[in-house]
Structure 1
Amino acid sequence: MAMEAENNENKIRLITTDDGSHSLYVPKLNETYHSFHGAVQESRHVFIEMGLKHRMSQGLKAIHIFEVGLGTGLNALLTAEFAIKYQVHIHFTSIEAFPVDYDLVKQLNYTSYLEAPEARSWFEAIHNAPWHNDIAIHPFFTLHKIQSKLEEHEIPVSTFDVIYFDAFAPNKQAELWDLKILSLIAQSMEPLGVFVTYCAKGQLKRDLQSLYLKVETLKGPPGKKEMVRATK
């Protein structure tokens, strides 16, 4: 019984953030997948508005995105919504070492935050898509999921227009914020490609600058003072 209680205490569990949208809490890390101030509003601000929309405004008609941390699939879902809204072709590559259990996925309420009636089917397709294959979620959004640790994956060079860097915080998952990893990420970016993350640590900004990226400290989503965007 004691072991069972301990296992229950360590189970990833559903939480509700301040904007009403769900996230997941990981007891072992004492960390959430999204800001407790609001999961959907954070993802929309950091990744969609400051990353994808910013890059598209420079005239791209097709965009290749690399996401570090598929997680709950929220960023992928919002990107699928963006693609069909703006009729821009997006190829979305996402790497995840530890996929979320589908029983938890089914409880997430993200689709209620989207206007598109197809949102539920997109969300299910994102999570049920086979790994390591290009899968068309809809005519403007192609998903390629990679099940691997980032540090064990060979990241292609000069490929991506936008990087969604959505790993757990540096004090929880330091290996993913290492300069060596960031260097590989920078090499994977096309000229004028952008890197966006919720993190605004001074060390991160110094590391990105050392890789010859132009670093901007931008206003963060509600509840967070700052975020970072870096341009190649």
Structure 2
Amino acid sequence: MSREVKIITTEDGSHSLFVPELNESYHSFHGAYRESIHVFMLYGLETWYMRNPETFPIRIFEVGFGTGLNAWLTLVWAEQYKVPVLYHTIEPFPLEKEIYSQLNYTEVDTSIYHYASYFKRLHTAPWNEGVVMSEYFNMKKDKVTLEEAVLYPSDVVFYDAFAPNKQPELWTKEILDKVVDTMNPGAIFTTYCAKGQLKRDLKELGLEVETLPGPPGKKEMVRAVKPSH
């Protein structure tokens, strides 16, 4: 499966993809790279690591492999901090080589350019099987929808689906319950979305919900934590 996408340049100079079928982009127009760093790395992975500095490996579940940006940034983080990460991601519409080979994420921050080769390897790694990507980063990409996916226990959830008004089926309480159910005690759920209905549903599913400052161009985002007790 594939869908038509067009490469666009966001305000921080990094690429994103626009999907005409949905009239939606993969990232914020205000900066794809900055959004991923803010929402998923800073308020997701790094927050969990600070709270659980001796708990390895870190198990991450991502809804929407997409451009591979979140996965690549996580791999770079794991290698830099020498922290083992098990990364499970799903994507029903993998990108074609002609698209992912043009994306410029590895050029945004020259200090981590020596990790550039991993970006292509993330995309070319086989689907539906576990792959050792580097010393500290193991990944399993499943070419599947969230409704169909078999989930594993997770410490951090990168909920990076398209917006609720574009893909409402991925924001129902029932599908959120499927994800929450596999989160470990103390696990973090982080997303760019700050809709009131999402916050109410996550609270009803037993999570402690925080509304945090959003990335550039977005006022708010949501992080939710599964109680440890």
SS at match of 1:144: strand
Distance (whole Å) between structure 2 residues aligned to residue 43 and residue 117 of structure 1? 17
Task: Indicate the RMSD between aligned Cα atoms, in angstroms.
Answer: 1.1
> What is the total number of aligned residue pairs between the two structures?
221
Match of 2:166 among 172, 186, 209: 172
Contact 2:131/2:139 (8 A) holds in 1: yes
Match of 1:211 among 184, 202, 205: 205
Aligned to 2:112: 116
Distance (whole Å) between structure 1 residues aligned to residue 113 and residue 172 of structure 2? 41
What is the CA distance between 1:116 and its match in structure 2? 2.8
Gaps of 5+ in 2: none
Higher alpha-carbon Rg: 1
The amino acid of 1:127's aligned partner reads H
Aligned to 1:196: 190
Match of 1:228 among 216, 222, 226: 222
Distance (whole Å) between structure 1 residues aligned to residue 115 and residue 9 of structure 2? 20
The amino acid of 1:15's aligned partner reads I
Distance (whole Å) between structure 1 residues aligned to residue 150 and residue 25 of structure 2? 27
What is the CA distance between 1:118 and its match in structure 2? 3.4
SS at match of 1:191: strand
What is the CA distance between 1:155 and its match in structure 2? 2.3
Deviations 1:30-67 (A, max 9, x none): 10000000000000000000000000011233200000
Distance (whole Å) between structure 1 residues aligned to residue 72 and residue 150 of structure 2? 25
Distance (whole Å) between structure 1 residues aligned to residue 156 and residue 4 of structure 2? 33
What is the CA distance between 1:231 and its match in structure 2? 0.2
What is the CA distance between 1:80 and its match in structure 2? 0.5
Aligned to 2:143: 147
Aligned to 1:65: 60
SS at match of 2:139: strand
Identity %: 51
TM-score by length of 2: 0.94
Match of 1:127 among 123, 126, 146: 123
Contact 2:62/2:88 (8 A) holds in 1: yes
Contact 2:107/2:113 (8 A) holds in 1: no
Distance (whole Å) between structure 2 residues aligned to residue 223 and residue 117 of structure 1? 26
